[in-house]
Structure 1
Amino acid sequence: MPLGVVMKGIGGFYYIKSSFHGIIECKARGIFRKDDIIPLPGDKVSFSIIDTNKNTGLIEEILPRSSELVRPAVANVTQLVVVVAVKSPQPDFLLLDKMLITASLKNIKPIILFNKIDRSSGQDIERIKKVYENTGYDLFFLCAKSHEGFDDLMGILKENITVFAGQSGVGKSTILNRLAGAAVMETGEVSDKIERGRHTTRHAELLELSNGGLVVDTPGFSSFELTGVELNDLELHYPEFINHLGRCRFNGCSHINEPDCVVKEAVENGDIDNERYERFVHFYSLLKKQKDQRYRK
């Protein structure tokens, strides 16, 4: 039975890319609806051919998923590229760190892409680098207008399923258009008044690049909730914390109020960026409040 990858799903029809049959329009077997299973873009599936003339078929099996995202609804993602505009709109580092934590939670490799570098000074870029230099995350700096940085970006997309995410108006769709060499995604201008872009992405769809990589755009976020993270596990989603964990004076140290905390010492010494640490404290407080509310019910 032939295998393929779901590229998109619209109105109960799923478009499967197969190396032998090309693009096949398929419906899913009724058993999937019965079991409340919906094929997602990125799913690896086996299918049968119903009509060779019309290139139609039927999804027979969905192979096990290595990862799954809800927004966008995509399976088997290997990389999450978080796009941040250096300016216009101003970077939302709280949103960025939420996405990095989510990627870690889903076992997806996070990559930070700073766009619109032509609108900022070298000093601004160096300050941004300093915040994330000890995290181990891959950092890319891009100018969509001049194509600066695109060759390096194409290199990391090869043979991966990569989701692009970020604030509205940071240039995700413009970047994907450049990568694909065609206007495959609609783009939205940033409002001068509120510095927000129009949401231009309507559904999850895999876009194939010339190097074999698959990418998907997402709706632009004005907010993004941190879900699925346990309070005591938050520290594990900060790569720059890892070498310091287990060395504090108290077991179960929250790295906030306790004395002789090695993480706080690393912040004071500059080994951990203070801005990142303050956002950790913010997230910890939110998760603790949520946990306390659950126990009161």
Structure 2
Amino acid sequence: MSDFTIRNMHPSELCLALDWAQREGWNPGLHDAACFYAADPRGFFIGLEDDKPVGCISAVRYGEDFGFLGLYIVDPARRGCGYGERLAAAGMDYLAGRTMGLDGVVAQQENYRQAGFGLAHRNMRYLGLTGQGTAGAQDTHAVVPLSWVPFAEVATYDHQLFPAPHEHFLHAWISQPDSVALGAVENDELHGYGVMRTCREGYKIGPLFADDADLAERLFLALTASVPTGRPVYLDIPEVNPQAQKLVERHRMEMVFETARMYSGPPPQLPLERVFGITSFELG
């Protein structure tokens, strides 16, 4: 009989988990491991069969009351052995007493419902090729490098759009290598920001937060301006934001993947009309 154990990941094992995520078609960023680990070093678990890694899950704590489950993967050859259920239990135990969120792939959504998670909305991944949109001339005078904006101001803005503070992750995310981070500043105040990072295939924009659709468009164009024509760019949007839907349509992007944003309790009350791109399906 095989011996199955679960323990916290070492940092190098998080790189292995992201390799598995790539195998699943999730296309992680080149530097996601370091950013994810900064969020909660104790929140990543690996399952081992006879000391061989066969599964993983993340369960990241944010603040005092919120947590997010992700990176839920079991080796295809070992599925059906009950390992996934034990990994899920370990993650949920770590987040016990908190509202928990997750982005559930279609195949797992019924299992999450049975575990007590309710649907809040769908998130949709869109893919486009640079140079194929309807960009035209846009006023970009308010878009500046995000490093010009004091970090405390960025964190304050971000907290309006995320259920809990996550400064360690945020600092790592907006300053990661092979990325572009821009802010929309008007009257010396931040009114939106976006990050585009290099992924194993092309680029992903996330987050893309803005007070209105015009600023979101400005940020989108500025972020993609340095990408060579014809390269793939991904954007994950909440389906409930119609202006985000119009943005991806303007840029001739196609939906390629979807998840269900689900919560174990009442959904956080967030202004999703200002969320034009989600930071990460894995970390919420």
The interval holding the TM-score normalised by the smaller chain is: under 0.3
Q: Larger Cα Rg: Structure 1 or Structure 2? A: 1
Question: What is the TM-score with the length of structure 2 in the denominator?
Answer: 0.26
Larger strand proportion of the pair: 2
